[in-house]
Amino acid sequence: MSFGSRGGRGGRGAGGGGGGGYHAAAAYDYGGYGGQTAGYNSGGASNYEHISYDTSSKDPVLLRARVFAGNVNTFVAGRDELIDLFSAYGSVLAMTVFKGFAFVQFANDQEADYAVQCTNGMVWNNQALDVKLAITGMKNPTAKKLPQAAY
């Protein structure tokens, strides 16, 4: 399945408009944010237009280098501020921001581990961040269920 390129912002959020390609928020309702930017900096030009919005790669190397950031105050800080925060720990390839959480795609697993180590529990914009590897929260679709014992 080809996801195509991300042409524009896409999604349902402010500044939405029909971007091409796959978007994780398409299957879920995240309070109308459309999976893009939130907060006061959602309009206007970004300093990070070269950083992708697509954090949905199935590449095993990239899966291991993806970070979930929870408890993010997206009413105060937007995508650019989150990129500023996480780029101190490695090369950010992509960032997708939802209402209250975000996914960050790093270039490799060492950078992702370092970001988790340094930012989990950090108080940022008056909230303690919940940062972990995104792969730890994923369900394993290939896991086989053990047979139930007959009673």
What is the pLDDT at residue 27?
A: 31
Claim: this prediction has a pTM higher than 0.85: no
Looking at residue 6, its pLDDT comes to: 37
Instruction: Return the CATH number of 24-136, one of 1.10.10.10, 2.70.98.50, 2.60.40.10, 3.30.70.330.
Output: 3.30.70.330
Please list the ranges in the chain whose pLDDT falls under 50. 1-43, 141
Structure tokens at 65: 């280098």
What was the pLDDT predicted at 5? Answer: 37
> Can you give the pLDDT at residue 151?
57
- pLDDT tens-digit series, residues 3-24: 333 333 333 333 333 333 333 3
* Of residues 107, 87, 91, 98, the one with CA closest to residue 26: 98
Kindly list the domain boundaries of the chain, sorted by start residue. 24-136
Residue 22's alpha-carbon distances to 27, 56, 70, 138, 146, in angstroms, are 10, 8, 22, 19, 34
